[in-house]
Structures are given as structure tokens and as C-alpha cells.
Structure 1
Amino acid sequence: MTAPQDSGRVALVTGASRGIGYGIAEALVARGDRVAITGRNEESLKEAVERLGADRVIGIAGKAHDEAHQAAAVERTVEAFGRLDYLANNAGTNPVFGPIADLDLGVARKVFETNVISALGFAQQAWKAWQKENGGAIVNIASVAGLSASPFVGAYGISKAAMINLTLQLAHELSPGVRVNAIAPAVVKTKFAQALYEGREEEVTGAYPLGRLGQPEDVGGAAEFLLSERSGWVTGQTLVVDGGIFLNAGVG
């Protein structure tokens, strides 16, 4: 396969050693971007870099909610590639399954720290290091759980609703130089979402008008569009990528 022509653009994708984050990084590398990816597990990150292409990709291990890691990831990206045009905030967690009436507040804080505050931290760092003077674009990975009630994953849903509003705030404040949008996927076949379909995939899939669950490349393609000049007049939007599941809202 012929290597893509270098686009001259650079992206940082958080939580990208697998799943949706990997799908985003893969789409950006395929079009010729140089990409830095982050993840908690150094070994998994190293493997992802090798698969994506170590000549175009670097990995930076660390915990998304760690401010020192946020700063280091942005700094290393700029050092390695000389710029930072795009940021994809994908790192997230959902460590609990059950009603929020019984939710341990410490767990709720952890969910918000990782899913919302870390995204703000990475955006601040990218803005200061490059985007304030040079422009760029940011994509935040939200969820359809942030657009409606989400039984048993309520803390996650609340955090993703906050992520959608964070997108609006950043889009307003960072314009005109930086565009900020979000993507709200439904169930995507990843290890992260396994509990939502494992053992009953046929039943879950039956609710989707398009007849299948999402794949990481579905979100990767949407992110690639939003992190490009083809979406140059789009900001503050949340793109729902859901296989049509919301078409069934209110039915029955």
C-alpha cells in the first residue's frame, strides 16, 4: 500500500491505544497527519504505535486526569512534530453500572475528573501551546447517553452531557481561530462498551435501524471530517453517530 502524502498537520488523540480513539488516530494517519496518542497502559500504547506506524505516530503514556500528563502530552507532541493542529478528546471511563441513587460520590467525581475535566485540561494546554496563535480544531467524544436518560450508566451520561456543554463553551470562547465540535456515538463495538452488548448482541442490534452496532471507524470517519477544512464552517455542534437508534425514540 502506498504511504499517504504528508498533510503537514499534527493531531493529539487521547485514550487511543484501542477502540474509538484508535479508530480516530487510524483515520488521521491514513490521510497523512502525524499523530500523538495517549493511554494508561504503556505496553498497549506501544503496540498501537507499531500498528499505526512508528514513523508517523508517537505514544505518551499517562492518566488522562493527571494535569502533569496533559501538559507533557501536548509538550511532547509539539517537540516531536513542531505543531499541534488538532485535538481529539476521547479518554473516558465508566467504572460503575447501576442507579445513581446509590452511586458512591467518590466514583462520580472520578467519572467527571476523567471524562470532563481532563478534556478541558487538554484543550487548555493545546490552546496555550499552539492553537491560540495558529488556529486548529478540537473534537470531543461525547455519547448519546448525554442526550437522554441513560439507565444504569447515569454518571457516565451526566458527564457526557457536561462534555456537550463544554464543547459549546469552548467553541464560543476559542473562535474564530479554533473550531470545537463533539461526536455522540451510540453503542460501538469496543472493549469499553462490551457490557452493553456482550451475550445479547443480536437483541441489542435489533433496535438499530441500520442493523448493526457501531465500529471504531464509524466514529473515526466523523472525527476526520470535523478535524479538517471540509468542516471549516462548523463549530459548536454535536454530531450524533448512532446507527439511527434515536429514530426509535418514543416508539411504542
Structure 2
Amino acid sequence: MTTQNLRGRTAIVTGGSRGIGLAIGQRLAEAGANVVLTSRDQESADAAAAQVNGNVLGVAAHVAEDDAARRCIETTLEKFGSIDILVNNAGTNPAFGPLIDQDHARFAKIFDVNLWGPLLWTSCAVKAGGLGERDGHSGVVVNTSSIGGLSSAPLMGMYNATKAALIHITKQLALELSPGVRVNAVCPGVVRTKLAEVLWKEHEEALAATMPLGRIGEPVDIAEAVTFLASDAASWITGQTLVIDGGQILGDAAGFRAGADG
């Protein structure tokens, strides 16, 4: 039986100062990994690192800036000697609204952060020699996509386009980096985070009632899945997208429950 024991391995989590990213960092540290959490400013990165028990380092790095990515990769290698796990979690959505109302500035920002960022950090980690097979363990990349990348939704067209593209890039990288690096994606549904507040804050109870599992997600739900994919328990999984959404993508469960009740 394989386990989720990550002792001796080092993980970078981009966008790790709050929400899903912070929960992932906490869970990876609990599994024994050294963890580097990134945020746009050092104060936020340090505050996040202080919330996690273990060998944790906060690093200021804008996810879409080449020099910042390279500096973080170099810092991680200097401090911990390897990069075994890269979680491309940072994301943004400045383009909420109809597609035809978007401008190039918002288009460029959302694609830079949500798509170029994961590709940039993966490239830097691999080319620095820090991400690959080591001590019998594959290197691991986990990209945070979304169920929006698998469907359509009002006002979310631009965000969902970036997440759909990220799913494709996940598959492409899984082939290009095989066999030494496994690349997978997670697709969260509505999770209790600040980024997703517009999707749940004013109507959480009604939304939860439509879901097969009866609640919106918590950051730890995603963190558990990422830790599984990072571990040897997932050693024969690559190029896949794992949906973690309480069944939301299946559709409104309320009518099915009513039918079952009579």
C-alpha cells in the first residue's frame, strides 16, 4: 500500500497566501513536505507561512512575471535542494461579465495569471533541474483548473476559457514531460473562498440545496485531493482532471431527491 507520506520532498504552491492555496500548503506540510508559499507581496507570504506548521517559506512572486518565477525557483533550490511538487494554484478573475464586454487589458491579465503563470512556473522548475524524477519518485505538477473549464456559465466566459485551456495544457505537459514528471489538474466547484464569493455568499443555502452532497466546498476539500495527486498513491495517474465539486457538475439534485421521496 502506498501512502501520502511526502517527507523529504519539497513543494511550491503559487497563490498560497489564503483560501485553497493556503489549505494546500497546510496539508502538504502535514504530509511531511517542505513547502514554499508564494504571494504578490512578502508580508502576505510571510503571514501565510506563519500559519503552517513545518518547514515553510514565504516568497513574494507575481505569478506572471518571469524574473519573479525564476528567483523563487532558485531560492527554493538553495534552501531545500529540490523541487518535487509544483502546485500552480494562483488565479484571478478581473473579467466577470459577458465576453463581448471585455477589453484587451482584462483579457491579457486573466490569461497571464491563469494560463501563462502555470506554464511559466512549470517551465522554470523543469529547466532549473529542480523538477523531475528523484529517489524513485516522479516530479509532480498539479494545476488548479475549475469545473468552469468543463462547462459554460453566465458572466464567467473569460475565466472559464482560461480554465479550459489549462486542462488542455495539463494533458499536453503530461505527454511532453513524461515519464519523469506527472502532470494533473483539479477542477473545484464552488468553494468558500474570497475569489468565489460572488458565486455563493448571498445565496449559499439555496446553492447548497441543489448539490448532490448538500454543501459548497471548503478549501481543505481541494487540498486533500491535491495531496493525493502529489503522493505515491497517485503514481500511475497523469494527464487527468479530477473534479471536486460535491456533484455540482451533474446538475440540480433537488428534483431527483423529490422523485425519490415519492
Do they superpose with TM above 0.5?
A: yes
Q: State the shift of 1:42 in Å.
A: 2.4
Q: Distance in 2 between matches of 1:91 and 1:227?
A: 17
Q: State the shift of 1:96 in Å.
A: 2.5
Query: Which residue in the other structure is 2:258 paired with?
Result: none
Query: Which residue in the other structure is 2:61 paired with?
Result: 62
Q: State the shift of 1:132 in Å.
A: 4.2
Structure 1 residue runs of 5 or longer lacking an equivalent are: none
Alignment-mate amino acid for residue 124 of structure 1: S
Q: State the shift of 1:86 in Å.
A: 0.4
1:22-57 Cα shifts (integer Å, max 9, x gaps): 11111100011000010113222211111103x510
Normalised by the length of structure 1, the TM-score is 0.94
Q: Distance in 1 between matches of 2:35 and 2:14?
A: 10
Q: Distance in 1 between matches of 2:15 and 2:86?
A: 12
Alignment-mate amino acid for residue 102 of structure 1: D
Query: Which residue in the other structure is 2:76 paired with?
Result: 77
Give the alignment of 1:39-118 within 5 angstroms.
39-53=39-53, 56-118=55-117
Normalised by the length of structure 2, the TM-score is 0.90
Query: Which residue in the other structure is 1:189 paired with?
Result: 192
Give the alignment of 1:196-211 within 5 angstroms.
196-211=199-214
SS at match of 2:126: helix
Alignment-mate amino acid for residue 100 of structure 1: L
Q: State the shift of 1:203 in Å.
A: 1.5
Q: State the shift of 1:207 in Å.
A: 1.6
Change (3 A) 1:166 1:249: farther
Query: Which residue in the other structure is 1:142 paired with?
Result: 145
Q: Distance in 2 between matches of 1:183 and 1:242?
A: 10
Q: Are residues 1:120 and 2:123 paired?
A: no
Query: Which residue in the other structure is 2:219 paired with?
Result: 216
Alignment-mate amino acid for residue 207 of structure 2: V
Q: State the shift of 1:200 in Å.
A: 1.2
Query: Which residue in the other structure is 1:9 paired with?
Result: 9
Which of 195-204 and 224-233 deviates more?
195-204
Q: State the shift of 1:133 in Å.
A: 6.2
Q: State the shift of 1:150 in Å.
A: 2.2
Which of residues 159, 164, 172 in structure 2 aligns to 1:156?
A: 159
SS at match of 1:240: strand
User: Is the 2:210–2:252 contact (alpha carbons within 8 Å) kept by the matching residues of 1?
Assistant: no
Q: Are residues 1:226 and 2:226 paired?
A: no
Identity of aligned residues (%): 45
Q: Distance in 1 between matches of 2:189 and 2:211?
A: 10
Alignment-mate amino acid for residue 85 of structure 2: Y
SS at match of 2:51: helix
Alignment-mate amino acid for residue 17 of structure 2: S
Which of 194-203 and 23-32 deviates more?
194-203
User: Is the 2:96–2:159 contact (alpha carbons within 8 Å) kept by the matching residues of 1?
Assistant: no
